[in-house]
Amino acid sequence: MVPGKSPIVKALQFLERKTTGEVRVHFVDRYFETDPMGAALDIFNEYQMTRTQDRNAVLIYVNRRTRRFAVIADEGIHRQVGQRYWDELAVNFREDLLSTYFENAVALTIFTLSVSLEKFFPRERGAV
């Protein structure tokens, strides 16, 4: 382990070694936010996350002040795991956000996504 690396960075690096899926994390610090899902969709589109080869990108959007969040997934991964998966992920993420530091909650969610993305979109051995 490299001292000073956040749990989020470690989780993203782990994910990148396991899968071709793409996960991005976006934080905001707004006091007032009426629609985190709408804001996340705008960012998902701004980052052009539908351009992955297998349509397997996921955006984790978190408001650090309010602990409100949204998780947006492209159609390739959604088709593989289904809506129930995302509903359960959201319940677990919400519980983690309320019970631990937000960095740890995000890292746990990334690790969970890693397992699913690796199952359906594994990185070939030796690929970087």
Looking at residue 93, what is its pLDDT?
A: 97
Specify the pLDDT at position 34: 82
Tell me which DSSP letter residue 50 carries.
G
Beta-carbon count within 10 A of 15 CB: 21
The pLDDT, as a whole number, for residue 125 is: 64
Do the beta carbons of residue 97 and residue 105 sit within 8 Å? yes
pLDDT for the residue 5: 84
- Cβ distance 68 to 86 under 8 Å? no
Domain 7-119 has CATH 3.40.470.10: no
Domain positions in the chain: 7-119
Q: What is the pLDDT of residue 4?
A: 65
pLDDT at 31: 85
- pLDDT value, residue 1: 43
Strands 69-73 and 57-63: antiparallel
pLDDT along the chain (128 residues), means of 10: 77 96 94 89 96 96 92 96 97 94 95 97 74
What global pTM score does this model have? 0.91
